[in-house]
Structures are given as C-alpha cells and as structure tokens.
Amino acid sequence: MNTWDAQTADRYLAHLLEGFQKISDERLVARSFSDVYPNLRVCLVRHHFVFFLFREERPVQIIALIHERRDVVAVLVDRI
C-alpha cells in the first residue's frame, strides 16, 4: 500500500472536491448506472467512481465514492 505525504493527499482531495463541484454544476460527463435506478449516475474523478443521485430541483446527493480497483457492485449493494 502506498502512503502519501500531506501535500499529495491535499492535492488529491482538491481534485475530488473539484470533481464534486463539476457534478453539482452539471459540467462533468456522467451516465446512468442502471435502468432500475434511472436517477443514479456515475462518473470517474481521478481514480474514483462517484455515484450520485440526480433529481430535478434538488441538490445532487453523492452516495458512494469507490476506488476503481474495488468491486463496485459489492460496495453499492448496501447503499442502494
């Protein structure tokens, strides 16, 4: 497992936060994750999949941030 120094961790966090803002502003390409959950969207921010609910006239709700190497479906089962 790699460890990061504080500066690297802060920089990565800043990239994630920038991605979250782009999701909120609808400036990041996202796709629907499932026909069963049409409001559930997913996009990749750096090395993390960001799963979020998009609903008209309501704030975006991020429900999961999952590293690309993880078993995405297994993690989401408990959150949907």
β-bridge mates for residue 50, sequence order? 43, 65
| Range 6-77: architecture per CATH | 2-Layer Sandwich (3.30)
pLDDT at residue 1, as a whole number: 53
- Six-digit token string for 50: 């960001």
- Six-digit token string for 29: 């390409």
- pLDDT mean over 53-65: 87
- Six-digit token string for 9: 């961790």
Per-residue confidence band for 79, with pLDDT thresholds at 50, 70 and 90: low
Secondary structure of 12-75 in HEC code, one letter for each residue? HHHHHHHHHHHHHCCCCCCEECCCCCCCEEEEEECCEEEEEECCCCCCCEEEEEEECCCCHHHH
pTM: 0.79
Domains of the chain, residue spans: 6-77
Q: Is pLDDT at 13 greater than 80 in this prediction?
A: yes
